[in-house]
Amino acid sequence: MQAYTYLLIDLACISVPLFASFYPKHAFYKEWKPFFTSCALVAIFFLIWDEIFTRFEFWGFNPDYLTKIYVGHLPLEEILFFFCIPYACSFTYFAFLYLLPNKKHSNKLAQLNYALAMFCLGLSVLNYSKWYSFLTFLFLGLFLLYLRLKKINLYYYYLAYVTILPFFFISNGILTGSFLEAPIVWYNNTQNLGIRLFTIPFEDAFYGMLLIFGNIYFHQLFKNSSHEKS
C-alpha cells in the first residue's frame, strides 16, 4: 500500500467534491466542460514549471510512495494532483456561489488583495536568486494585480481559499513528510526561503493560491464565454 500513498491522497482530495457534484439542485457536473478546459490550460503551465524544477532538482519525489509511472520526470500522481486539487477548489467556489449568493467585492478586500500583491512582488525581488521563491511570488503578485485590473469579484476566491486551507495543511503536510517516515515530495532549500509551516515550505501556501485562483478565473472565463455563444 505504501506505493499508493500519493495516489490515495489525490483520490481523497477529489472524492467528496466529485460525489457532491451530482447534487440535483446545484449540479457541478453540468460545468465539467468549461472546468476541464480551464483546468487543462492551467495544468499545462504548472506541469511545465514542475518538469523544469524536477529536472534541476529544485524539488523531487520519493519513489517509495509512488506507483512509479512517469511522464517525463513527473510521476503520474503529481500530474493527477493538478486535476484533483483544482477540482476540489473550483467545486468549493461553485458551492459558495449557491450557498452565499450575491456577495460583493468590498473595498477592504480590494485593499487586502493589493497589499498581498505588493508583498509578493517585494518578496520576489528580495529573493531573485531562489527560483521557487522568486517565481512563486512573482507570478502570484502579477496575477493578483491582473485580477484587480479586471475588477474581478474576489470575495468567493478568498472564501474558497480560506475554506480549503485546513485541507491544504493536511494533504500537503502528508506530502512533505508529516506522519510519514520520509517526505513524498522533497525540496531543495537553497531555492526557497527555508521557512516551514510545520513540514510545508512557506512558498507552498502562495503556490497553492496561484493554482486555485488561476483555475477559478479561467473556469469562469470559459463558462461565461460559452454562455455568450449560446
Percent of the chain with pLDDT over 70: 98
pLDDT tens across 46-90, in order? 999 999 999 999 999 999 999 999 999 999 999 999 999 999 999
Residues 6+ apart with CB under 8 A from 89: 160, 161, 164, 211, 212, 215, 216
pLDDT of residue 105: 81
pLDDT of residue 155: 96
pLDDT of residue 6: 98
Candidates 174, 196, 171, 192; CA nearest to 58 is: 192
The least confident of 124-128, 209-213, 216-220, 222-226 is 222-226
Taking 90 as the threshold, does the pLDDT of residue 219 lie above it? yes
Taking 60 as the threshold, does the pLDDT of residue 230 lie above it? no
Sign of CA dihedral 49, 51, 53, 55: negative
**CA gap 120, 161 in Å, rounded:** 17
Taking 60 as the threshold, does the pLDDT of residue 17 lie above it? yes
pLDDT tens across 137-157, in order? 999 999 999 999 999 999 999
Q: What is the DSSP string of the chain?
A: -GGGHHHHHHHHHHHHHHHHTT-TTS-GGGGHHHHHHHHHHHHHHHHHHHHHHHHTTSEEE-GGGS---EETTEEHHHHHHHHHHHHHHHHHHHHHHHHSTT----HHHHHHHHHHHHHHHHHHHHTTTSHHHHHHHHHHHHHHHHHHHTT---HHHHHHHHHHHHHHHHHHHHHTTTTSSS-SEEE-GGGS---EETTEEHHHHHHHHHHHHHHHHHHHHHHHHHHHH-
pTM strictly above 0.75:
yes
